[in-house]
Chains A and B, each alone.
Chain A
Amino acid sequence: MRVEGAACVNEPREQSVLRLEGVGKSLGGRRILNDVSLSLRKGELKVLIGPSGAGKSTLLQCANCLIRPDQGEIFLDGERLNQHNSGQLRLFRRQVGMIFQDFNLFDHLSAQGNVSIALEKVRGLSRREAGERALAELARVGLADRAALYPAELSGGQKQRVALARALAMDPRAILLDEPTSALDPELVGEVLAVIRDLAAGGMTMLMATHQMDFARALADEILFMDNGRIIEQGGPDVLLRQGAGTRTLDFCTRLSLELAGRDGLKANGLELLP
Chain B
Amino acid sequence: MDWNFYLNDIFPVLNRGLRMSLALILPSATLGLAGGFVLGMARAFGPSWLRKAGDVYTALFRGVPLVVQLFMLYYALPRLGLYLDGFSAAVLGFTLCSAAYHSEYVRGAALSVKQGQFRAAQALGMSPLQTALYVLAPQTMRRALPGCGNEIVYLIKYSSLAYLTTCVELTGEAKVLASQTYRYPEIFMAAGVYYLALTSLASLVLGKIEKRLRVPGFGRTI
Contacts and interface: CB of A to CB of B under 8 A. Distances in A.
A105 interface: yes
A107 interface: yes
Given A106-B120, A108-B218, A150-B217, A121 B139 contact: no
B222 interface: no
B120 A100 contact: yes
Contacts of A94: 124-125
B216 interface: yes
Interface string B86-125: 0000000000000000000000000001101101111111
Contact of B119 (A66, A86, A108): A66
A266 interface: no
A13 interface: no
A121 B130 contact: yes
B30 to A, nearest CB: 24
Given A91-B125, A94-B125, A118-B124, A104 B119 contact: yes
Most buried by B among A100, A118, A152: A118
A66 B218 contact: no
Interface residues of A, number: 30
A254 to B, nearest CB: 33
Interface in A79-128: 86, 90-91, 93-94, 97-98, 100, 102-108, 117-118, 121-122
Given A108-B142, A150-B215, A152-B217, A122 B123 contact: no
A3 B119 CA distance: 38
Contact of A117 (B114, B122, B127, B134): B134
A86 B129 CA distance: 13
Interface string A255-273: 0000000000000000000
B220 to A, nearest CB: 14
Given A121-B130, A150-B216, A152-B217, A106 B123 contact: no
Contact of A98 (B123, B130, B138): B123
Given A104-B114, A108-B139, A150-B215, A93 B124 contact: yes
Contacts, number: 76
Given A121-B134, A122-B130, A152-B217, A107 B125 contact: no
B130 to A, nearest CB: 5
Most buried by B among A86, A98, A104, A167: A104
Contacts of B117: 104-107
B139 A98 contact: no
A92 to B, nearest CB: 8
Interface in A136-153: 150-153
B26 interface: no
B133 to A, nearest CB: 8
Contacts of B216: 150, 152-153
B217 A166 contact: no
B126 interface: yes
Contacts of A102: 116
Cβ-closest 6 pairs across A and B: A152-B217, A94-B125, A104-B116, A104-B120, A98-B123, A118-B124
Given A66-B123, A104-B114, 6 more contacts: A66-B122, A93-B122, A100-B119, A102-B116, A107-B217, A151-B217
